[in-house]
Amino acid sequence: MNISVLGSGRWGTFLAWYSRIIGHNVMLCGRKESKSFNILCHQRHNEYLDLQEDLILSSSLEEAIAFGEFIIIAISAQELRAFAKQICKFPITSKVFILCMKGIEANSGKRLSQIIYEEIGASTNVAIWVGPGHVQDYVKGIPNCMVVGSNSIDVTKAIVNELSSEIIRFYYGQDLIGNELGAASKNVIGIGAGMLDGLNYSSLKGALMTRGTLEISRLIKAMGGNEVTAYGLSHLGDYEATLFSQHSHNRRFGEEYVKGVKFEKLAEGVSTVKALKMLSDKHDVDLPICNAVYSILYENKDPKQELINLFLRPVKFEF
């Protein structure tokens, strides 16, 4: 089938490469002014992979929308609403939009699928593709498992059937609320993990993992999702890739933040934690880890003191 990938960053470029590897016709769409996209156009490779010669590159959003039956979006979560406003200018009947991004809109607390429905239309076929895995591992043939979900089981099955391979095995994830919240919030937990690494408190990651999953499960339940989803691939199952891997942007951001080093790449958790603070207050759900990360990043609280206070709170039962 014809697949368009919108977004030529690390993940978007991989998704285009992957879709071509498994036999689909692929167009990768990037911004004309993007330095990384211009390098791809001229050299057909980046620091992670070499693009196939028959993979089409285009800077025309109109062309990419017309080309794809599946349209994969892999851009910054905070840019999605403005991007969706551009997409809706073109014919999109029967298209399937697959959101391969993890975040929550910082100024509204809206999930990404909600943004698409609001801007493009409630009848749009929208799915999410989340879960663990790094480009650096996938291009070496190291396999992993991920989650695809939508409001339509038929759409979910169609995506899984077309995009599964020996490298990526998919699970159905029909709890959109739980999977979107879980996927977005694990980046915030990842920032906390990086801060622990930077402070030489990596031994506390076990506590961070168990308590982080529990607090996110409570938020998922309060917002109408299935709390058990937090223990699946979109959240807890993604901890290895986010809390421990050297490839994790969010973990590296947290580590370098406490060391006073500026991190130049995108760490989605920085914006997502603002949305989680809003949702914590709105739904009256205590999110101690997320609130600690928020206070460090946005209230200039001392990282060491905030994290020590977090793990030295009064003794309580684990669950």
**What's the CATH number where 46 sits?**
3.40.50.720
In this prediction, residue 16 carries a pLDDT of 98
In this prediction, residue 312 carries a pLDDT of 74
Query: Do 17 and 164 belong to one domain?
Result: yes
Query: Do 14 and 147 belong to one domain?
Result: yes
Query: Do 153 and 267 belong to one domain?
Result: no
Final residue of a structural domain among 127, 148, 172: 172
| C-alpha span between 197 and 202 (Å, rounded) | 5
In this prediction, residue 36 carries a pLDDT of 87
Query: Do 203 and 167 belong to one domain?
Result: no
For residue 48, is pLDDT > 60? yes
For residue 319, is pLDDT > 80? no
For residue 308, is pLDDT > 70? yes
| C-alpha span between 145 and 169 (Å, rounded) | 5
Greater confidence (291 vs 319) lies with: 291
Mean local confidence (pLDDT), 292-297:
97
**Among 151, 1, 154, which residue's Cα sits nearest to residue 69?**
1
Q: Are 150 and 125 in contact (CB under 8 A)?
A: yes
Catalytic residue list contains 32: no
Q: Does residue 177 lie within any of the structural domains?
A: no
For residue 302, is pLDDT > 90? yes
Per-residue tokens: 258? 């406490």
| C-alpha span between 7 and 35 (Å, rounded) | 13
The confidence band for 186, taking pLDDT boundaries of 50, 70 and 90, is: very high
For residue 235, is pLDDT > 80? yes
Query: Do 73 and 149 belong to one domain?
Result: yes
For residue 264, is pLDDT > 90? no
In this prediction, residue 274 carries a pLDDT of 97
Query: Do 126 and 194 belong to one domain?
Result: no
In this prediction, residue 318 carries a pLDDT of 55
Final residue of a structural domain among 107, 138, 172: 172
For residue 314, is pLDDT > 90? no
Mean local confidence (pLDDT), 83-106:
96
Final residue of a structural domain among 172, 207, 239: 172
Query: Is residue 149 within a helix (H) or strand (E), and if so which, with residue range?
Result: strand 144-150
- Which residue among 186, 205, 274, 277 is the active-site one? 186
Query: Do 166 and 221 belong to one domain?
Result: no
The whole domain housing 135 covers 2-172
Parallel, antiparallel or unpaired: strands 25-29 and 56-58: parallel
pLDDT in tens, 141-150: 999 999 999 9
User: What does pTM read for this prediction?
Assistant: 0.94
- Residue 245 falls in which region: left (phi positive, over 0), alpha (psi -120 to 50) or beta: beta
Query: Do 161 and 246 belong to one domain?
Result: no
Query: Do 30 and 168 belong to one domain?
Result: yes
| C-alpha span between 24 and 307 (Å, rounded) | 47
pLDDT in tens, 265-274: 889 999 999 9
User: Residue 222 is part of a domain; what is its CATH number?
Assistant: 1.10.1040.10
Q: Does residue 229 lie within any of the structural domains?
A: yes
